[in-house]
Amino acid sequence: MQADIVLDDHFAGDTGGMPVGWFSVFGTGTIIESGTTVTLEGDAAIASNTTIDLTLGAITMTVDLVATDGRAEVAVANPANVDHHFLAKIRASDGELQVKGANAAHGEEEAIVGYVGGYAGGPIRMTVVLDRTSFSLSTESPPFSSGPTAYSSVFSSFSRSDLGTAAWVGLANDSGSVAAAASIFDRIVVDVAEPAAVERNTFSQVKVIYRR
C-alpha cells in the first residue's frame, strides 16, 4: 500500500509568530516560530491549512518534539466542527500517553494508553497512526508502542468516521497547572495511505493472491 506525504513542515520560516500555512484554533497562549521550531506557550493550539482526505487509508502523523514542560499534543479535527476530533498527548512529568476522541453527540472521551519510561520532557519522536478501525501510538528515544488498538476498546462512542471525510491536522500545548508551560515542536510529517488498486497487480500476482 503506497503512502503519500501530504504535509511536511520543519517550521523553518523564522516568522517570530504564526508559521506560514497555519492558524490559531483556540487558546490564549503565545505562538512563536523561530529558527526551525515552533513554540506553543500556555494553552495554545494551531492547525495546518492542509486538509487531509479521510476517504483514503491509514493516516500517519509523525511529530518531532524538542521539549515540553506541559503536555504536547497532535490532533486531527473536522474543519466544519472541531467538536469532532482525535488527539494524542504526552505529559512531561511522567511520560503519560493519553488519547482523546470526541464527537458532538457524546462529547469527549479520554484514555491512558501507557507511559514512556524515564521520559522527563526532552526530545522525542511521537507517531500516531489512525486506521479505519484502530489507532496506534508510538515513540522513539525513549521507545513505546501501543500496537494497533481498536477505537471500540477505549472509547464507548468515538470512531474515525466521526471525523467525517476531511480533517485538519493540529499541534497544541496543554499547560495544565503551570501557566507558563510550553511545548517546542521541530517537525511534523503526515502521510495518507492510498488504497491498493487490483488493476495494478500482474496476472502472476493475482494468482498468488487467490492461492492464499
Classify 120 as helix, strand or coil.
coil
Calculate the CA 129 to chain-centre distance. Answer: 8
Q: Which cell numbers hold the place of 210?
A: 487467490
How many Cβ atoms from other residues are within 10 Å of residue 31's Cβ?
A: 23
What is the distance between the alpha carbons of residues 123 and 125, in angstroms, rounded to a whole number? 7
Contacts of 161 (CB under 8 A, 6+ apart): none
SS3 38: strand
pTM: 0.88
pLDDT score for 178: 76
Report the CATH fold assignment for 3-211.
Answer: Jelly Rolls (2.60.120)
* Residue-level pLDDT, tens digit, the chain, 212 residues: 577 999 999 999 999 999 999 999 988 899 999 999 999 999 999 999 999 999 999 999 999 999 999 999 999 999 999 999 999 999 999 999 999 999 988 999 999 999 999 999 999 999 999 999 999 999 999 999 999 999 999 999 999 999 999 999 999 999 877 778 999 999 999 999 976 554 444 434 434 434 44
Task: Tell me the C-alpha to C-alpha distance, in Å, between residue 139 and each of 61, 123, 130, 178.
Answer: 12, 11, 15, 24
In order, the DSSP letters of 145-162 are: E--SEEHHHH-SS--GGG
